[in-house]
Amino acid sequence: MKCPACGDPDDRVVDSRLVDDGTAVRRRRECLSCGRRYTTFERLEGEPRWVIKRSGRREPFDREKVVSGLRAATKNRPVSELEMAELAGLVEEAMRSSGPAVKSEQIGLEVLDRLRGIDEVAYLRFASVYKEFEQADDFYKEVGLLSKATAPKHRGMEKGELS
Protein backbone atom coordinates (compact mmCIF):
# COMPACT_ATOMS: atom_id res chain seq x y z
CA MET A 1 0.00 0.00 0.00
CA LYS A 2 1.43 3.38 -1.00
CA CYS A 3 1.03 6.44 1.21
CA PRO A 4 -1.54 8.81 -0.35
CA ALA A 5 0.58 11.81 0.73
CA CYS A 6 4.11 10.90 -0.36
CA GLY A 7 3.72 7.64 -2.31
CA ASP A 8 6.16 5.69 -0.15
CA PRO A 9 5.23 1.99 0.13
CA ASP A 10 6.55 1.51 3.68
CA ASP A 11 4.00 1.84 6.47
CA ARG A 12 3.01 0.25 9.73
CA VAL A 13 -0.43 -0.80 10.93
CA VAL A 14 -1.47 1.25 13.97
CA ASP A 15 -4.92 -0.28 14.53
CA SER A 16 -7.11 -3.02 12.99
CA ARG A 17 -10.85 -3.49 13.54
CA LEU A 18 -13.59 -5.63 12.07
CA VAL A 19 -16.32 -3.59 10.37
CA ASP A 20 -19.49 -4.27 8.38
CA ASP A 21 -20.51 -7.14 10.65
CA GLY A 22 -17.13 -8.81 10.31
CA THR A 23 -17.07 -8.83 6.50
CA ALA A 24 -14.23 -6.30 6.30
CA VAL A 25 -11.17 -5.16 8.22
CA ARG A 26 -10.45 -1.46 8.77
CA ARG A 27 -6.76 -0.73 9.20
CA ARG A 28 -5.29 2.54 10.40
CA ARG A 29 -1.81 2.93 8.92
CA GLU A 30 1.09 5.30 9.44
CA CYS A 31 3.61 6.09 6.71
CA LEU A 32 7.17 5.42 7.89
CA SER A 33 8.51 8.12 5.58
CA CYS A 34 6.29 11.17 6.22
CA GLY A 35 4.38 10.09 9.34
CA ARG A 36 0.93 10.71 7.83
CA ARG A 37 -1.89 8.37 8.91
CA TYR A 38 -4.50 6.92 6.59
CA THR A 39 -7.20 4.24 6.60
CA THR A 40 -7.55 1.17 4.39
CA PHE A 41 -10.29 -1.46 4.18
CA GLU A 42 -9.84 -5.12 3.31
CA ARG A 43 -12.70 -7.29 2.03
CA LEU A 44 -12.74 -10.89 0.99
CA GLU A 45 -12.95 -11.07 -2.76
CA GLY A 46 -15.23 -13.96 -3.59
CA GLU A 47 -16.96 -15.02 -6.75
CA PRO A 48 -18.28 -12.05 -8.71
CA ARG A 49 -21.86 -10.98 -8.11
CA TRP A 50 -23.88 -9.71 -11.04
CA VAL A 51 -26.67 -7.17 -11.20
CA ILE A 52 -29.29 -7.52 -13.91
CA LYS A 53 -30.39 -4.01 -14.82
CA ARG A 54 -33.94 -3.12 -15.95
CA SER A 55 -32.71 -3.05 -19.55
CA GLY A 56 -31.52 -6.66 -19.19
CA ARG A 57 -27.86 -5.63 -19.24
CA ARG A 58 -25.62 -7.32 -16.65
CA GLU A 59 -22.88 -5.57 -14.68
CA PRO A 60 -20.74 -6.50 -11.68
CA PHE A 61 -22.17 -5.57 -8.29
CA ASP A 62 -20.55 -2.41 -6.95
CA ARG A 63 -21.11 -1.83 -3.24
CA GLU A 64 -19.99 1.77 -3.66
CA LYS A 65 -23.02 2.43 -5.90
CA VAL A 66 -25.29 1.45 -3.02
CA VAL A 67 -23.37 3.76 -0.65
CA SER A 68 -23.47 6.57 -3.23
CA GLY A 69 -27.26 6.26 -3.52
CA LEU A 70 -27.54 6.27 0.25
CA ARG A 71 -25.36 9.39 0.50
CA ALA A 72 -27.65 11.22 -1.89
CA ALA A 73 -30.77 10.11 -0.02
CA THR A 74 -29.35 10.93 3.43
CA LYS A 75 -27.76 14.28 2.55
CA ASN A 76 -28.23 16.70 5.49
CA ARG A 77 -29.93 13.95 7.51
CA PRO A 78 -28.69 12.48 10.83
CA VAL A 79 -27.31 9.30 9.21
CA SER A 80 -23.63 8.52 9.67
CA GLU A 81 -21.18 7.08 7.15
CA LEU A 82 -20.92 4.03 9.40
CA GLU A 83 -24.70 3.46 9.23
CA MET A 84 -24.60 3.76 5.44
CA ALA A 85 -21.67 1.32 5.20
CA GLU A 86 -23.45 -1.15 7.48
CA LEU A 87 -26.66 -0.89 5.47
CA ALA A 88 -24.73 -1.46 2.23
CA GLY A 89 -23.07 -4.48 3.85
CA LEU A 90 -26.44 -5.93 4.84
CA VAL A 91 -27.76 -5.39 1.32
CA GLU A 92 -24.68 -7.08 -0.13
CA GLU A 93 -25.08 -9.99 2.27
CA ALA A 94 -28.74 -10.40 1.30
CA MET A 95 -27.69 -10.34 -2.33
CA ARG A 96 -25.09 -13.07 -1.75
CA SER A 97 -27.74 -15.39 -0.38
CA SER A 98 -29.86 -14.79 -3.51
CA GLY A 99 -27.29 -16.34 -5.84
CA PRO A 100 -24.67 -15.10 -8.30
CA ALA A 101 -27.06 -12.74 -10.15
CA VAL A 102 -29.80 -10.51 -8.79
CA LYS A 103 -32.13 -7.98 -10.39
CA SER A 104 -31.51 -4.32 -9.64
CA GLU A 105 -35.11 -4.10 -8.42
CA GLN A 106 -34.29 -6.54 -5.62
CA ILE A 107 -31.38 -4.40 -4.52
CA GLY A 108 -33.55 -1.26 -4.52
CA LEU A 109 -36.27 -2.94 -2.50
CA GLU A 110 -33.71 -4.27 -0.02
CA VAL A 111 -32.28 -0.75 0.43
CA LEU A 112 -35.79 0.72 0.87
CA ASP A 113 -36.75 -1.92 3.40
CA ARG A 114 -33.68 -1.24 5.53
CA LEU A 115 -33.70 2.55 5.05
CA ARG A 116 -37.28 2.77 6.34
CA GLY A 117 -36.06 1.90 9.85
CA ILE A 118 -33.18 4.38 9.78
CA ASP A 119 -34.66 7.62 8.43
CA GLU A 120 -38.10 8.13 6.88
CA VAL A 121 -37.11 11.28 4.97
CA ALA A 122 -34.14 9.48 3.43
CA TYR A 123 -36.50 6.59 2.64
CA LEU A 124 -38.81 8.95 0.72
CA ARG A 125 -35.90 10.53 -1.14
CA PHE A 126 -34.56 7.12 -2.17
CA ALA A 127 -38.06 5.90 -3.10
CA SER A 128 -38.67 8.97 -5.28
CA VAL A 129 -35.66 8.12 -7.43
CA TYR A 130 -35.94 4.34 -7.28
CA LYS A 131 -39.68 4.27 -8.02
CA GLU A 132 -39.37 7.14 -10.51
CA PHE A 133 -41.92 9.51 -8.97
CA GLU A 134 -43.38 11.84 -11.58
CA GLN A 135 -45.80 13.97 -9.58
CA ALA A 136 -46.59 15.08 -6.04
CA ASP A 137 -49.32 12.44 -5.74
CA ASP A 138 -46.61 9.79 -5.88
CA PHE A 139 -45.14 11.24 -2.68
CA TYR A 140 -48.55 11.32 -0.99
CA LYS A 141 -49.14 7.65 -1.84
CA GLU A 142 -45.71 6.63 -0.55
CA VAL A 143 -46.16 8.62 2.68
CA GLY A 144 -49.48 6.85 3.12
CA LEU A 145 -47.81 3.46 2.71
CA LEU A 146 -45.00 4.50 5.04
CA SER A 147 -47.48 5.74 7.67
CA LYS A 148 -49.46 2.51 7.52
CA ALA A 149 -46.32 0.48 7.97
CA THR A 150 -44.90 2.51 10.85
CA ALA A 151 -47.69 4.34 12.69
CA PRO A 152 -48.94 2.73 15.91
CA LYS A 153 -52.61 1.88 16.01
CA HIS A 154 -54.64 3.82 18.57
CA ARG A 155 -57.54 1.86 20.04
CA GLY A 156 -60.76 3.60 20.78
CA MET A 157 -60.12 6.63 18.57
CA GLU A 158 -62.72 7.55 16.01
CA LYS A 159 -61.81 8.68 12.53
CA GLY A 160 -60.88 12.37 12.51
CA GLU A 161 -60.50 12.56 16.29
CA LEU A 162 -57.32 14.10 17.66
CA SER A 163 -55.51 12.59 20.62
Helix, strand, coil percentages for the chain (3-state, nearest 5): 40, 20, 40
CA distance 44 to 55: 30
Range of the domain at 41: 8-45
**Structural domain count, the chain:** 2
pLDDT tens, 88-124? 888 888 887 777 889 988 998 899 888 888 888 998 8
160 located within any domain: no
Is the overall model pTM greater than 0.75, yes or no?
no
Are 63 and 79 in the same domain? yes
Instruction: Give the pLDDT of residue 33.
Output: 94
123 located within any domain: yes
Instruction: Give the pLDDT of residue 144.
Output: 82
| pLDDT at residue 86 tops 60 | yes
pLDDT tens, 35-77? 999 988 887 666 668 899 989 999 988 888 999 999 999 999 9
Question: Which residues lie below 8 Å from residue 8, measured CB to CB, with a gap of 6+?
Answer: 2, 31, 32, 33, 34
Per DSSP, helices labelled H in 28-103 are 63-73, 81-96
Are 53 and 122 in the same domain? yes
